[in-house]
Amino acid sequence: MKFRLLPLLVLLSTGAHAAGGENLMHAEVDLGNRASLQRGARTFVNYCVSCHSAGYARYSRVASDLGIPEKVVAENMMFTTEKVGDTMQVAMRKEDGEAWFGVAPPDLSVIARARGADWLTTFLSTFYLDPKRPAGANNLAFPDTAMPHVLWELQGLKRASTETRVEGGREVTRVVGLETVSAGLQSDEDYAGTVRDLVNFLVYLGEPAKLVRYKIGFWVMLFLFGFFWIAYLLKKEYWRDVH
């Protein structure tokens, strides 16, 4: 019985994977790129913390991990607290969030692990105008999301171009692409960079220890290579008498 179920499970999981991975944009995550992480952090505190918290992240930790002086963080990046040792709390109350959006904006500490970097990139890039939605915007990665297009100023406004086809006797309308209605402050290329940096920062936020691990990993590898040579020379020395 167990074995008969196995192919079915495999089939289901690959099917689910294919559906989830459909049409996602590709994220470029580079945790070694400090400048990118810093830019991502700036976008995050300016555009996201007004609604979302990152309750597992402390400003002081972010500052030291990303090499931003605490003073700069305290003066330019903290809008919801005075103490640099505090976690990134949201400016808005949860009940207000629910009342305004129908659903409280979730904490984003580990969102990159829950959704994946590719999904986040697609989500942040594919808001489009939709008068049927309360906030006036819809999204390709998260249909009917309650989140407004908060980066519209940077990206500009997009409209969905749709295609209607008859499938199985029913008319089905699909979004086939997004076209610009009005340009934003950034070009498409620059906006893609903004999203790349922001997603990079969210990936860091999901696991800050990764940066430390990379650093330690480098020294461990260096030690192993160095030690390899010592071991090799020792071996040569010992076997000299035997040969």
What residues make contact with ligand HEC under the rule CB under 6 A? 47-48, 50-52, 101, 103, 105-106, 108, 111, 115, 120, 123, 145-148, 150-151, 198
To ligand HEC, the closest distance from the beta carbon of 16 in angstroms equals 17
Give me the residues paired with residue 88 across strands.
Answer: 54
- Closest by CA position to 118, among listed 33, 42, 202, 59: 202
Q: Which is closer to ligand HEC, CB of 155 or CB of 208?
A: 155
To ligand HEC, the closest distance from the beta carbon of 198 in angstroms equals 6
To ligand HEC, the closest distance from the beta carbon of 201 in angstroms equals 9
To ligand HEC, the closest distance from the beta carbon of 148 in angstroms equals 5
To ligand HEC, the closest distance from the beta carbon of 146 in angstroms equals 3
Q: Which is closer to ligand HEC, CB of 93 or CB of 235?
A: 93
Q: Which is closer to ligand HEC, CB of 42 or CB of 210?
A: 42
Q: Which is closer to ligand HEC, CB of 71 or CB of 94?
A: 94
Q: Which residues touch 105 (CB under 8 Å, ≥6 apart)?
A: 51, 52, 90, 92, 97, 147
Q: Which is closer to ligand HEC, CB of 95 or CB of 241?
A: 95
Distances (CA, A) of 165 to 6, 84, 97, 127, 182: 37, 55, 38, 23, 28
Q: Which residues touch 111 (CB under 8 Å, ≥6 apart)?
A: 120, 202, 205, 206
